[in-house]
Every structure is written in structure tokens, then in C-alpha cells.
A and B are shown apart, each in its own frame.
Chain A
Amino acid sequence: MSQPESLPHYVHSNRLEHFVNYQLVGKTALRVQRWRDQWKLKRRKPRPESPLSPPLDCVVYMKEIMSRHYLEGRYASGVRKVAWVTSGAPTEPLQALGYFLVYPENHAALCGVRRKAQSIAEEAENAGWSRDICSYARTDIGAMLSGKTPAGRLPRPDVLVCCTNICQTVLHWYRVLADYFDCPLVLIDTPFLYEEAREHDVTYVRRQIEDMIHVAEEIAGEKLDQARFAEVMKNARRGAELWLEVLNRSQSRPAPMTAFDGFIHMGPIVDMRGEAVTVDYYERMLRELDVRVASGIGAIKNERYRVLWDNLPIWFKIGELSKWLAEHGVNVVASTYTYAWGELAPMIDPENPLDSMARVYLHPILNRSAGHKLASMKKMVEEFQLDGVILHSDRSCKPYSLGQIDQRDRLSKTLGIPALLLEADHNDPRDYSDEQGVNRLEAFVEMMEARA
């Protein structure tokens, strides 16, 4: 049953609105805001009491890029074709076709960081959605039903692309979206990989990507321009390579950025991979990190322990946790989550786009076995010279959390390092208890102290 009449807050824009509000006024205003932020950052007084080093200068560019993206979103409906996609969807052909992309997961995370997720999720719960459903899904469904969003307004989708390489919840979630928006849903099914992908897995996924391209071409009313597609693929590869390099800079001691910085700076690689602006941004970021590494500047002032974070961040606690850990000399230097958007860079082959996309989108860490994740974590412990691991047991994200008890056990027993299971949720503050969480973290720090 379609229910478009129940969503009055999804309004169409026109070219004039898009041009004036976004191209002309919006972009200029955001540029001016960036200049102001740069000026403020330059005049920022030293904060000797803060355990954290000053933020990276490039953060003002990231803010501009992401704000621009969400601002365009307000006026995209009716002007550009709009696709709502899962975070692991093969978006490169859509970008080449000129689609404006909305990542509901990223939008939900934005609600989480702004501490709006609970009240928005409650809109979904009040409409009958169970609290046992992923808090990203509840946040986005709540935003869809109520129109509440810190982004101002999201554009109505012309097509939905759902790829199951991150979880099975998206399968149901996107069917709900399709029902409400009464628009086509492209489903890309990625077989779970217990080992490496087999050729027939790759063929199976490639065919689905080809089908997606046909649907997207039909909706866009144009054919995929191969030159433009090649350009997007090249940017996608370069962007992912740069992101991986950015993350690997934290192998230095002290690490020039924390995983919490990574959670914030990953916005462009998630939302705009394949775009030149993303490549430019990470080149800028890398240059700045290199200066930090060369000058021995760490992201936290007193790096005593280096730690790995597994699973999604706790978005609504990101600032507090980052500060608390820094105060205790703990630098969370790496995370399996941010790594997921970089580690597959070598697989992206612009010369062989469809096959390589099929491979890349089959291999995200969430579509692979618990043993593979354990091996990745062990490798990171070695490469980043880590003293401990925090495994965020995320109530909402079952595929990511499944296997963590065994992974924690193996890490602790085979590597002999403290490993903590921290129970929380990526977006729902009702599933995190500060008192108990901090108590566990304190004990974890004491264990690292005892080993030192």
C-alpha cells in the first residue's frame, strides 16, 4: 500500500530555487562560514587544560563539504534524480548518471551526533515500530514520518538502492521506504562470504549491478556515459586509497588523529565517494597529517595507551568518550569501522569497473566471516602497535556484534592484551548507561596500566 499522502514534508523544488538557494546563496554562505571558521581556528587560544590537541585545520573544509551536500539535498527533489542508498550500495554508476545520493544511515548518524536521534526514533516507535529494530532504521523512519531532521529537509527519492552487504535489516527497511515513497526499489543481494568470493558470486552481483544501471538509466532518462563513469571509478579508487593512507598515518607514535576524528572525517568517503571533492579533501587532510607526524604532534597530548575500536561509534557519546579516554592517556588510534571504507581500495579497478565493483561490494567486513574480522583486528593490533581493544557491543547492529564475545576472548588470550566488551548502541541513548560504561572503561584502563 502506498502512503504518499502521509508525507507532506517531502516537497519538490524547481531549478530556480535550486540555483538561487543552493548554487548562488547557499554555497557562498557556506564558503563565508568556512572563512569565519578558519579565522576562528587561527585565533583559537591554546587550551592547556584540554587533553586533546587542537582539531585538524582541514575540519572546516569537511564541514563545508558536508553542509553543502545536505544543503543541496533540500533543493534536489524535482531538479536532480534522487537515490536513497545503503552505505554499502554500488553507487558509482548512479553518480555518473548525475543522481543526488542520500545515505539514510549517514543521516541517522547526523541525528545521533546532534543528539536528536532519540526524539526522532520515538516518532517511529509511536507509529508502532519496535524498539528492537536498529536505531538507524528507527531514526530514519521517524524522520520520514515526522519530517524532523537536523538537515532541514531531505529530498524525496526517485529510486531506492539497497545492498545487503551490511545487514539484513536494510532489506526490510527499504521495502518500507518503497512502500511509503511509492518508488522503485533495486535490491542487490550479496552472498555472505565465509572465504574469498567465488567467480559465480562475482557474476551474480555484477549482473545485479547491471540491472541497477538499467533501472537508473530509465529513471534518469539517459544512458550511462562511459567516460563519466570511468572518471567516477577513478575518483572512487583514489578517494579510498587516500582514506586508507589517512587512517594508516595513525600507525605513527603518537598518532596524529584518533578514531573519533576518523568517525567525523569519514563523511565524504561515505557520502561522496567517486567525487573529485572527496579526493581533494583527503589529499588536504593527508598533507596536514604528514606535518603532524613529522613534528611529532599527537591527536591527544599524552598518548600512553593505543587502542582499537571495533564496531560503529556511539554517536551520541562521541565527544565525551573521546575526551574521557584522552584524559586517561588512551588514544583510540584505529577502528575496524572507518577502515571498512579504505581497506578495499586496491580492489577497485577503473579499467574493469563492473567486475571490480562486484568484488568490492562483496567484500565489506560485515559481509565476511567472524574469523576474517578477527584476523583483521589482529593485524591492526600489530600494525598500529596497540595495547588494547574496545569492542562496542552494539545493540542495534547485530551483524557487527555477532562473534564479538569469541573475538574478544581470542584477542585477549592469544595476544595477551586487555579487550573490553562495551555494551551500548550506535544511536539510542536509552541503551547506554554512562555509569556502567565508564566503570568498565576505567577497569580496562587499569588493566592496561597494570601491564605497563
Chain B
Amino acid sequence: MSNIVAIGIDAGSTTCKLVAIDRQGAMVGARLEATEPRVEVQVQRMLWALFDELGADPSTPLIATGYGRKLIKEATRNVTEITCHARGVSRALGRGGTLIDIGGQDSKVIRVGDDGRPVDFMMNDKCAAGTGRFLEHTAARLGVPVYELGRRALSARGEEAISSTCTVFAESEIISLIARGADPDAILRGLHRSLVGRVISMVRTVGVVPPLMLSGGVARNDAVRAMIAEAASEDVILPDQPQLMGAYGAALLGGTA
């Protein structure tokens, strides 16, 4: 008999994640793929693969989160990413604090209580600036793969100031900078600074209760982490698999853990 007690599904705007947990709340299986246009079909396929791999019972509670959560017909419950990320990260790191989740479509700052519940939160406004999309979009303009962004930004010797916080206008700034012969890595560094500036203003709005914690896909970017730590004058800690925290939290909410 399978020891899987719940599966969390995070149907995000950029990636789709599934996490299965056991009775102790430990992550025992996971799947991550780029989100496809028909996310409900994709999740079904990913679920069957996970069921097969882990031998899970199809009646296992399924908790959905992320922007596509309402499309997941199989889900026993829908919960917002805010509650799920808070629960996932606090369990993974064993504490509350101030969580910054920079996702593909939005970013949020969540004050997490010691019991893993969200106490307060702030989300970016109706704008791509301050989200993973900002970096993805502008990196594409520079021809740099997303996974190299952080390293190259950190290794840059200089920094080009990007004055616009708007993704579209930032792109035109980049074009001008390239035309002036600016170092692409220095531009990247400036872009990171601009994104972090947006995030930090949200952090200040919610108020910092240490430690600062990071989740979401952008947490894997070292430059973002370093710059947040620098701007907030606080240490930044992150779980082993920051991208899976939404799905993990969802699974935890479905299980009894």
C-alpha cells in the first residue's frame, strides 16, 4: 500500500508542479514541467505519471493552487498560492518569517506566522515588473538563457542603471544601452537591481520579520538572492527546492501534517 497521503498541484503561469507527501509530511515525489496551454490536460498526464511512479491510490486528496487551480477538475480543494507557499516554506525551513515568492506572473511578500499560516501579504500590482517574467522577457532581448542570468549579473564588473520599472519600457532602454555598446552583463545586473527594488518596496510595506525567506522559480537566481539580502540588510534563506514550495504547501494542507 502506498504511503502517499496527499498530492499538491501548483498550476503556475510558467511552470506546473506536482508534489506528493507521505504521512510525516516529507516530500516523496515531485514533477515539474513548463506550463502548457491546456494545463488541465497536462496536470492529468502528470498525475497519472506520478501515480504510476509512486503507486499512489487515485483517491488520494489532491489540492490545487496557482493561477490554473480552478481548471483542475480532479482537485479536492483549491487554495491560493499565498497560503500554500507560506505553509510549504515554513515546513521546509521549520520557522516563520517574511517570505518573498517571486513567480512567473506575480510576486508576493507574505509574513508567515510560526504555525505556517499567512499573517499578512502584499502582491505586485497589475504589472509584470517585479516578476520572473520581467527577467525572462528582458533576458530574451539579450539572448541570455534564464538559468545563466544570475551568474552573469553577479560576475559583471559594472552596472547599468535601468530607470524604468516597466517591462516594456525596460526593453527599449536595453535596446538603447546595447546600441551604445554597454556590457550585456552590466545591463543584466541593472535589470536585477530594478526587479529587486520593486520587491523590496513590497517587503517594506509588509514589514520585515526576520528571517527573509525566498521561494518561487526566481529564488534559484543567485543575483536576486544576493541583492535582496543587500538591500534589506538581512540574511536570506531558501528551501532546497524553492520552486516546489507552492505544491508542497498544497500537499501539506491536504494531508494531516
Contacts and interface: CB of A to CB of B under 8 A. Distances in A.
Contact of B207 (A413, A433, A435, A447): A413
Contacts of B120: 412, 418-419, 447
Interface residues of A, number: 19
Interface in B70-91: 79-83
Interface stretch (B24-32, B46-54, B122-130): B122-130
B207 A436 contact: no
Contacts of A443: 80, 82-83, 118, 121
A440 interface: yes
B169 interface: no
Contacts of B79: 446
Contacts of B117: 447, 450
Given A413-B207, A436-B106, A450 B83 contact: yes
B147 interface: no
Given A423-B125, A442-B80, A435 B118 contact: no
A360 B106 CA distance: 44
A412 B117 CA distance: 15
Interface in A104-150: none
Interface in A395-452: 405, 409, 412-413, 418-419, 421, 423, 431, 433, 435-436, 439-440, 442-443, 446-447, 450
A446 B83 contact: yes
B205 A405 contact: yes
Interface of B: 67, 79-83, 106, 117-123, 125-126, 205, 207
Given A418-B120, A431-B126, A439-B67, 4 more contacts: A423-B126, A439-B81, A443-B121, A446-B79
27 contacts: A405-B205, A409-B207, A418-B120, A419-B120, A421-B122, A423-B125, A423-B126, A431-B126, A433-B126, A436-B106, A436-B123, A436-B126, A439-B67, A439-B81, A440-B123, A442-B80, A443-B80, A443-B83, A443-B121, A446-B79, A446-B80, A446-B82, A447-B83, A447-B117, A447-B118, A447-B120, A450-B83
Interface of A: 405, 409, 412-413, 418-419, 421, 423, 431, 433, 435-436, 439-440, 442-443, 446-447, 450
